[in-house]
Structure 1
Amino acid sequence: MKNVVYAALMLTLGSQSALAAGDAEAGKAKSGMCVACHGTDGNSLAPMYPNLAGQHAQYLEGAIKAYRDGQRTGGTAVMMAPMAANLSDQDAADLAAYFSQQKLKQK
């Protein structure tokens, strides 16, 4: 029984570390397609685009994957789905890590 509990605990911890597997430096290098709307540091250039700076990495990663996989179909999906279409899970994690580490600027 102890082994079963231990194995379950290790699986849980392992899955949590997988969620935090993004590389912020790699994300910065991959962020070129994001900057036109969201700014180089995740502070959007126009009010119609959301700021990515300072958002939780898990949220950003999930949002990118949801656009990519067609699970988000709201108004911005028309723009975001093509941007996310060719991103791998690692790309999504890297971008999320980068933008989550940026500071939100007060306007």
Structure 2
Amino acid sequence: MAQMFVMYRTPADRAEFDRYYFGTHVPIAKKIPGLRRYEVSDGRIGTPGGVSDYHLIATLTFDSRADIEKGLESDEGKAAAADLANFAGAGVELFFCDTKEV
């Protein structure tokens, strides 16, 4: 398995971010080929030192890192990436890796 973590910094208007993210962006991103599971954080993001400056973390699961890369290169992946400019102005970071159970 492999996962992509998309970490969104806290926007000025959380309600507007959530409206756009769930109403527009999620349906676009769910069309990425190879996507097996799409999860998002629920509530404030915490750290050992307290509340973080992240508003939402999305975890997208694929069969392999190669599948993530293929998905991002697809028309659907490019559409999802282009859509970030429409709502993620506070900042967004993407990380992806293969995973294994230990």
TM-score (norm 1): 0.33
Q: Which has the higher contact order (CA 8 A, sep 6+)?
A: 2
Larger Rg: 1
Name the structure where strand makes up a greater proportion of residues: 2
TM-score (norm 2): 0.34
